[in-house]
Structure 1
Amino acid sequence: MSELSPIVADWFKAKGWRARPHQLAVLEAERAGNSVLLIAPTGAGKTLAGFLPSIEDLIEAPHEGLHTLYISPLKALAVDVARNLSDPIAEMGLKIKVETRTGDTPASRRQRQRFDPPNILMTTPEQIALLLSHPDSVRLFGGLKRIVLDELHALVTSKRGDLLSLGVSRLARLAPQVQVTALSATVAQPETLRDWIAAPVAPRPAVLLNAPGGATPELSILRSEDRLPWAGHSAAYAVPDLYRIIKEHGTTLLFVNTRSQAEMLFQNLWAINEDSLPIALHHGSLSVEQRRKVESAMVSGRLSAVVCTSTLDLGIDWGDVDLVVQIGAPKGASRMLQRIGRANHRLDEPSKALFVPANRFEVLECEAALEAVAAGAQDSETPLPGGLDVLAQHLLGLACSAPLDPDETFAEIISAWPYRELTREKFDKVLDFVSTGGYALRAYERFAKLRKTPDGKLRIANPQIAQQYRLNIGTIVEEPMLRVRLVRARGIKKGATTGPIGRGGRMLGQIEEYFIDQLVRGDTFMFGGEIVAFEGVVETEAYVSRAFSDNPKIPSYMGGKFPLSTYLADGVRRQLADPESWRVLPDQVREWLEIQRAVSVLPGRDSLLVETFPRADKYYMVCYPFEGRLAHQTLGMLLTRRLERARAQPLGFVASDYSLAIWCASDIGGLIRTGRLSLDQLFDEDMLGDDLEAWLDESALMKRTFRNCAIIAGLIERRHPGKEKSGRQMTMSSDIIYDVLYQHEPDHILIEATRRDAARGLLDIERLGQALRRIRRHIQHKPLDRISPLAVPVMLDIGKEPVFGEAREAVLREAADELIAEAMHIDKRAAAR
């Protein structure tokens, strides 16, 4: 085992610590010239293990310029690690310069870092791409020794991972001596991740190290005395219990799955905060100043609780957090393990976590998650081949740095793991697209971005292209956003369209444009932890003033919704099929399932239950695949096409994570009973062929997906110097281009990228195919004369009005009472009791 230098050994001794075996093993592997993948539980000292070789190397051979790049998926994580690394360096008395570089870093500091870089730079994949696009990248990165990739599992399954892999391959070319250390606490396929980091630095091997596990976490599910909702995701019923729990603990992190849930829960807690507890809000749409203020208060122990989204669930050491609360079902075991690790960030003491289901089906999912976490199960996604739109962005960035040689560049690209199987033919098509726009667009000068040099290389056509590229870099394409600025009430004069507006003007954050489009002046909504009134929009800014309202709207965000993992979905089906497992369920949920078993049947683990029943003047078919909302929405779209051909006259459908309901004008149950409609044929896997293609051809989803691919590939630019395109402008541009390409060049690389993205992310085709194969010839039809108890949650989503807050909860309660009374043949007042 490698020996520590006296300076580092003395520091450990002064702290009363001893270097852990896996920390020394990383140091030994790096000294042997190997890259490393370290898998270690939360609190095991992964960060120190990642930086120990850098500190030792810089002690032994002081280095001018950039020595180590630390790349993380979150800005907050980069800032947190920089803080936790700077203290040991200062305590050792070392002259090692550590800095961060994210989108929140002031432009002046980012500019200075290119010419006077620190020894260790904490940054993100987007900033690496930006730095590589400058002509001085060879000088900046030529002496680079190490790359540390933190929480790698959170990157490799997304387009950010594709961009990172291409960036690491370029860094390995600029600095052939570089070694890679990857750190992660939750990895489902460690061998794949080891290959991922080894690919760009081959033929040197990568060593896989597993640290021993820590203390078993203490997990529980909230048992509330209040009635569990049938549907919804706010968990408003549990707010009094949550407030009591916050008071009983030192510091609590409350994780939710979406930003709108975060705003709602924060307001609900403040409404009953009689003790004036310091409770804060943290999510990605808030201003950087507000987020940093919350993070600083957390570190210093000045907060009782923080309501947050995934912005705080990766690797951040908040010190004295003693409880993590997951509001709503976690959707994935690996994600839940990460969040649990934010509590009691010490290896030898158990983390403490509480699950708070928002509805009755989520109780089952929380039970499945509890079992998965106890078993240490991992369900993170498998990395897929790299996106062609990301490759196009990267190639343009390389050309911004220096004229690129196609042969040398191709060899570099295929050294990145996601692009290891990329063919030269496909590469040339992408390169041609970057150069000219492709066959259908090459006549337009605006798409000609690269020109050939006399020696056969490709350079950018003009300097403005590099400027545009750097403004639009990245793979995260959110819905068009407007900045939210706080002004004095009635600060916008009628008819005014330009100039300063009102007084104040503090920036609160960003909000999606489509939400603002639904508002009229005076409408109130929650944002940044307070209630504001909409005053108006000027260019890309929405102006708001402070307001009071008993029923403000909750901003809804298109992003941030997690899919139900296949592992947890199987766990839910297993529970439903095993009445013995119901003993651990709350009485309300257990009675619900028992009534379902009495009046209908329960789904089997590997079969599909299809219930049909009349209600009012319509006929319903409800099925329970438990494959997640995306797969169910796709199934609903394809089934309605087939039902139209069968003359069942489908009128609509609604999907949840657990079930799917379709309603028709014709008696669909009668068609099935009489054999005129075969369920085996209706749910046959061949629906993913011609039916899917026909639906995609006429669906607006393809155009929306194309817009994202076109933005990433650089065909459509979000930002221009001094201005930014509105969502409407980008949509109009992308729709026109899509129509041209689809008609004249259907094999265009962006059309190919669009189809792949739609199948993977928005339609979940692979998962739906697996489900259809699983249930083949295992479909059970149960005809009923009225709604079943199990169908109540999904039926509540039909015709749902956009009501928010307490009013929405009341509407859902009333509707649920009526439906369950109907299902159980009892009086509505008795059902309410």
Structure 2
Amino acid sequence: MTDSAEAARALLPATFSAWFAGKGWQPRAHQMELLSRATAGESLLLIAPTGAGKTLAGFLPALTDLTRRGKIPPGSAFTGIHTLYISPLKALAVDIERNLMKPVSEMGLPITIETRTGDTPQAKRQRQRLNPPDILLTTPEQVALLIANGEAPRFFKDLKYVIFDELHSLVTSKRGHLLSLGLARLRRLAPGLRTIGLSATVAEPMDLRRWLVAQSAGEENHAGLVTAPGGARPIITILKSEERVPWSGHQAKYAMPEVYEAIKQHKTALLFVNTRSQAEILFQELWNINEDTLPIALHHGSLDIGQRRKVEQAMAENRLSAVVATSTLDLGIDWGDVDLVIHVGAPKGASRLAQRIGRANHRMDEPSRAILVPANRFEVMECQAALDANYIGAQDTPPVGDGALDVLAQHVLGMACAAPFDEDDLFAEVTSASPYTGLPREKFGRIVQFVAT
């Protein structure tokens, strides 16, 4: 064990050590290293395979710090949130709340944890502003709304940690550009905050390490790096159908009897598709041939929140044989009894495939099992290419790229809603965000004028 891991073990409160021992577990080396370095004040990127305990590692510095702080006595001065956890998916935030509350309650920790997503009722959001939880689990869009509020300085004044789950999927889009600007504002509201990025699939780690910390002119800053050893290699096959594979189409209806047989042979299967219409059609196709009345569910972003929560709860309780889903479930959802992933249609990328097949056997020491089902003959080649790329460990996540100007305009408007600002001060803040480091001052001024007029 490294010196940092030994030092971190000394940092682990007795309550935590007893909880690990009671489970028959030992903290992993990368979890202890991250705890030690984050406690010392370092911002970090953790790269670890599926099932390596990334989420627990990311929360350990916050949980131990909150445990030592203890419960805030009634009548004390207003205390803002301590830790902000940002997830790319609403379902992931809810899943983390469920899985994080279990160890917190088992250890009896004096910590409050709540979610805030687009599904959160307005009354609860208002109450959270008046009485914030210690740990808030949220999404990038909610961060943008929170910092655009005039009460943001008060709400975030005590912020110590910001945890980004599945960081690689957050930073490469306009959504990630807006989040980088939000992080720049959070650094101004809470200058001592530390960031922790969690990721399993990374093509260019240095891009993410720069994204996590403030940049300055003529100087490149980056967060520290913690890595965990690779887990078991996945077992991936391409369906060899007895039926005729069509030349066109994206529904793969020809393969549904064989897909149904695969579902019957496993405990729980996740069927991933690329669009919501595909999800609806394949779900109906499976029900049409479901002679055994297997419990099969549907999950995508357009469904009613109540329906989605029912499906997620049933999955967590292992009451379903299969779920047909879109990208709403392809990141980080931790359901250990999922023992098969079926990807219908070409996965459109090696990194995306790695994420989705990682939902099966969500444990580091057990191989994930996946079946790729090409919807047409041309997708047979795409599936084979994705399979080959996965076995050689290729990654195809896009680069972070320069920050989008329409996103910057949106952020400038949000900051104007929060409070009056000095243009030079806001420019300095914006250019501390990695995607906007090279933004010319003249162009920023034009953006401000565009928003103003």
Q: Deviations over 1:723-770 (max 9, x none)?
A: xxxxxxxxxxxxxxxxxxxxxxxxxxxxxxxxxxxxxxxxxxxxxxxx
Corresponding residue of 1:229 = 246
CA distance, structure 1, for counterparts of residue 418 and residue 400 of structure 2: 28
The amino acid that maps onto 2:448 is L
Gaps spanning 5+ residues in structure 2: where?
73-78
| Residue 421 (structure 1) aligned with residue 438 (structure 2) | yes
Find 1:185's aligned residue among 171, 196, 200. 200
Matched, 1:163 2:178: yes
Correspondence for 2:109? 94
Q: Distance in 1 between matches of 2:221 and 2:192?
A: 10
TM-score if structure 1 supplies the norm length?
Answer: 0.52
1:284 aligns with 2:301: yes
CA separation in 1, counterparts of 2:257 and 2:238? 15
Which amino acid is the alignment partner of residue 135 of structure 1?
G
Residue of structure 2 aligned with 1:122, choices 137, 154, 170: 137
Matched, 1:22 2:37: no
1:44 is matched with which residue? 52
Aligned pair 1:143/2:158, yes or no? Answer: yes
1:9 maps to: 17
The correspondence of residues 415-814 of structure 1 with structure 2, limited to 5 A, is 415-436=432-453
1:53 is aligned to: 61
Q: Tell me how far apart the structure 2 counterparts of residues 370 and 389 of structure 1 sit (CA, whole Å).
A: 37
Distance of 1:200 and 1:239 partners within structure 2: 51
Q: CA deviation at 1:97?
A: 0.1
Q: Mark the CA change 1:200 to 1:181 in structure 2 (over 3 Å): closer, same or farther.
A: farther
Paired residues of 2:148 and 2:415 also in contact (CA < 8 A): yes
Q: 1:605: which partner in 2?
A: none
Are residues 1:83 and 2:91 paired?
Answer: no
Aligned equivalent of 1:245:
262
RMSD of aligned C-alpha atoms? 1.2
Matched, 1:215 2:215: no
SS of 2:214's partner is: helix
What is the CA–CA distance in structure 1 between the aligned matches of 2:39 and 2:229, rounded to whole Å? 22
CA–CA distance in structure 2, aligned partners of residues 258 and 200 of structure 1: 38
Residue 199 (structure 1) shift:
2.6
Cα distance in 1, alignment partners of residues 222 and 27 from structure 2: 25
Question: Structure 1 residue 204: deviation in Å?
Answer: 7.2
Q: Give a deviation string over 1:338-385, Cα, whole Å, max 9, x none.
A: 001000111011111011111111111111111111111101111111
SS in 1 for 2:212: helix
| Alpha-carbon separation, structure 1, partners of 2:147 and 2:80 | 16
Q: Residues 341 and 351 of structure 1 are in contact (CA less than 8 Å); yes or no, is this contact kept in structure 2? A: yes
Cα distance in 2 between the residues matched to 1:268 and 1:86 = 37
SS at match of 1:382: coil
Q: Distance in 1 between matches of 2:390 and 2:176?
A: 26
Q: Does the alignment pair 1:333 with 2:350? A: yes
User: Residue by residue, what CA displacement relative to the aligned partner does 1:622-649 show, whole Å, maximum 9, x if unpaired?
Assistant: xxxxxxxxxxxxxxxxxxxxxxxxxxxx
1:67 aligns with 2:82: yes
Alpha-carbon distance in 2 for matches of 1:278, 1:156: 36
The aligned residue for residue 721 of structure 1 is: none
| CA positional deviation for 1:205 | 4.9
CA drift of 1:95 comes to 1.1
1:365-444 matches, cutoff 5 A: 365-436=382-453
**Deviations 1:563-608, CA, capped at 9 Å, x for gaps:** xxxxxxxxxxxxxxxxxxxxxxxxxxxxxxxxxxxxxxxxxxxxxx
Instruction: Give the Cα separation in 2 of the matches to 1:205 and 1:11.
Output: 34
Task: Note the 1:805-824 alignment, pairs <5 A.
Answer: none
Shift in Å at residue 61 of structure 1?
2.1
Q: Which residue of 1 aligns with 2:75?
A: none
Find the counterpart in structure 2 of residue 108 from structure 1. Answer: 123
Instruction: After TM superposition, give the deviation of residue 65 of structure 1 in Å.
Output: 3.3
The letter for the 1-side match of 2:38 is E
Q: Distance in 2 between matches of 1:128 and 1:45?
A: 25
Q: Does 1:358 align with 2:398?
A: no
Distance 2:246 2:48 in 1: 38
Tell me what 1:642 maps to. none
Which of residues 329, 332, 352 is equivalent to 1:312?
329
Q: Helix, strand or coil: the match of 1:198?
A: coil
Cα offset, 1:200, TM superposition: 5.7
What is the Cα deviation at residue 283 of structure 1?
0.8
CA distance in 1, matches of 2:80, 2:449: 37
Amino acid at match of 2:347: P
**Aligned with 2:225: secondary structure?**
strand
Decide whether aligned partners of structure 1 residues 297 and 166 sit closer, same or farther in structure 2, where only a CA change above 3 A counts.
same
Residue 623 of structure 1 corresponds to none
* d(CA) in 2 for partners of 1:129, 1:370: 38
Q: Counterpart amino acid of 2:441?
A: R
AA aligned to 2:323 is V
| C-alpha contact (below 8 Å) 2:211/2:222 kept by paired residues | no
Aligned residues of 2:209 and 2:222 also touching (Cα < 8 A): no
Counterparts of 1:123 and 1:71, CA distance in 2 = 5
The alignment status of 1:258 with 2:275, answered yes or no, reads yes
Secondary structure at the aligned position of 2:64 is classed as helix
Unaligned runs of 5+ in 1: 437-833
For residues 527-557 of structure 1, give each alpha carbon's deviation from its aligned partner in whole angstroms, at most 9, with x where no partner exists.
xxxxxxxxxxxxxxxxxxxxxxxxxxxxxxx
Q: Does 1:301 align with 2:309?
A: no
Code of the aligned partner of 2:18: D
Do the aligned residues in 1 keep the contact of 2:206 with 2:222 (CA within 8 Å)? Answer: no
- Assess if the C-alpha contact under 8 Å between 1:168 and 1:200 holds in 2: no
Aligned position for 2:76: none
CA contact (8 A) 1:34 1:205 kept: no
CA displacement 1:477-511 (0-9 Å, x = unmatched)? xxxxxxxxxxxxxxxxxxxxxxxxxxxxxxxxxxx
Stretches (4+) displaced over 4 A? 200-205
Which amino acid letter does the alignment assign opposite residue 49 of structure 1? A
Does residue 33 (structure 1) correspond to residue 44 (structure 2)? The answer is no
Equivalent residue letter for 1:268? E
Number of matched pairs: 436
Kindly state the Cα deviation for residue 230 of structure 1 after the two structures are TM-superposed.
Answer: 1.0
Give, in whole Å, the separation in 2 of the partners of 1:214 and 1:203: 32
- C-alpha distance in 2 between matches for 1:318 and 1:292: 14
Distance 1:314 1:101 in 2: 18
Distance change in 2, residues 1:236/1:409 (3 Å): same
Give the letter for the 1:384 counterpart: G
Distance 2:192 2:355 in 1: 33
Q: Larger Rg: 1 or 2?
A: 1
The 1:200–1:123 alpha-carbon spacing in structure 2 relative to 1, beyond 3 Å, is farther
Distance 1:281 1:200 in 2: 43
CA 1:421–1:200: 2 relative to 1, 3 Å: closer
In the other structure, the counterpart of 1:597 is none
Looking at both structures, which has the greater relative contact order when contacts are Cα pairs under 8 Å and sequence separation is at least 6?
2
| Alpha-carbon distance in 2 for matches of 1:383, 1:257 | 23
Question: Structure 2: how far apart are the matches of 1:205 and 1:166?
Answer: 16
Tell me the distance in 1 between the aligned counterparts of 2:128 and 2:96. Answer: 18
Give 1:68 shift: 0.3
1:98 corresponds to which letter in structure 2?
Answer: I
- C-alpha distance in structure 2 between counterparts of 1:200 and 1:277, whole Å: 53
Structure 2 residue identity aligned to 1:138? P
